[in-house]
Amino acid sequence: MSVILEARNIVRDYHVPGSLLKKAKTVHAVKGVSFSVEQGKTLAIVGESGCGKSTLGRILTLIDPATSGDLLIEGKKIDIAKGDMTAEMRRKVQIVFQNPYGSLNPRQKIGDILTEPLVINTNTPADERRDRAMTLLKKVGLEEKHYNRYPHMFSGGQRQRIAIARALMLNPKLLVLDEPVSALDLSVQAQVLNLLADLQDEFKLTYVFISHDLSVVRYIADDVMVMYFGEAVEYGSRDEVFADPKHSYTKTLFAATPRADVESIRARLARKKAA
């Protein structure tokens, strides 16, 4: 198995400029995180809001540069701060955002949304772009007739499918999924998770799955990394982390996740009766 993504000691600081009354300060959003993901595997990054998981996602997607540390994609070091990025490098990583209502341009037709990455990054002729968009529309469970529609004509689950199709247009190696199902209903969530699993099998995709929902993570991930205040406090295979959490924060997180099995309901009702 080849390693697609490797991060070594990634650090990201944000400088908040001072003003007359305030001193300038530095926010350490990500404080030295290392991990690697093999082809066809899924790494889940878990943590609460403000722990730096989305910042890390932006660094992996090559949107933001890391302050220090190395990012290797397919063994090749990439530093976007240097500005020597080629279109080919950019094609390797794509992202699906959390809120499908915000991430699709309401004034663009689905066809234009899907073909835009090809227009920007490649010299593919128009008819091939169209063919590729049609193929992917069908792959994600939509139909060719949807090509000329606008985003407002679709439901949340369908929009997330469109966002996934757009991310796949450039045939990326790595897909960063930033809370892709947390805005969706339970039934739609199951459909989108199934779709992601199918696509992973078909295209040998590698996923970095950012989430705070442990039940989803347990279902989809191979490896799990738990982040807390910018640090990776726990990193290991899914079974290791779920069976034997080491760090106290991970334990808190597990304890806080509501459990929907009959035994825990029984236990709760018994406690209530006793009180």
Partner 1 sequence: MALLEIENLVVEFQTASGPFRAVNGVSMKVHEGEVLAIVGESGSGKSVSMLAAMGLLPWTANVTADKLTFNGRDLLSMPPAERRQIIGKDIAMIFQEPVASLNPCFTVGFQIEEVLRVHLGLDKAARRKRAIELFEAVGIPDPAERLGSYPHQMSGGQCQRVMIAIAIACNPKLLIADEPTTALDVTIQKQILDLLMKLQADHGMGLIMITHNMGVVAETADRVVVQYKGRKMEEADVLTLFENPKSNYTRALLAALPDNATGDRLPTISELFVDDQMEGAAR
Number of residues lying near partner 1 (CB under 8 A): 36
Nearer to partner 1, 117 or 180 (CB): 180
State how far the Cα of 72 lies from the Cα of 164, in Å rounded to an integer.
24
Our finding on whether 274 is near partner 1 (CB under 8 A) is no
Residues in region 48-107 near partner 1 by CB under 8 A: 48-49
Site for partner 1 contains 255 (CB under 8 A) = yes
Q: Interacting stretch for partner 1, rule CB under 8 A, among 91-99, 113-121, 145-153, 255-263?
A: 255-263
Near partner 1 by CB under 8 A: residue from 212, 236, 242, 246: 212
Beta strand residue intervals within 103-256, DSSP E = 174-178, 206-211, 223-228, 231-237
- Torsion sign over Cα 54, 89, 130, 134: negative
Q: Which of 133, 168, 214, 241 binds partner 1 (CB under 8 A)?
A: 214
| Binding status of residue 237 toward partner 1 by CB under 8 A | no
Q: What are phi and psi of 178, to 5 degrees?
A: -95, 95
Rounded Cα distance between 166 and 117, Å, is 8
Burial class (CB in 10 A: 0-12, 13-18, 19+), 112: middle
Stretch that binds partner 1, among 102-110, 112-120, 132-140, 213-221 (CB under 8 A): 213-221
C-alpha distance from residue 261 to each of 66, 181, 246, 258, 265 (Å): 42, 22, 24, 9, 7
Helix (H) or strand (E) holding 16: strand 3-16
Tell me the residue type at 215: S
Choose between 76 and 271: whose C-beta lies nearer to partner 1.
271
Pull the structure tokens for residue 188.
């739609």
Q: Which stretch binds partner 1 (CB under 8 A): 33-41, 59-67, 100-108, 180-188?
A: 180-188
Q: Which is nearer to partner 1, 127 or 261 (CB)?
A: 261
For partner 1, which is the closer residue by CB, 14 or 219? 219
Binding interface with partner 1 (CB under 8 A): 48-49, 185-191, 193-194, 197, 212-216, 218-220, 252-253, 255-262, 264-266, 268-269, 275
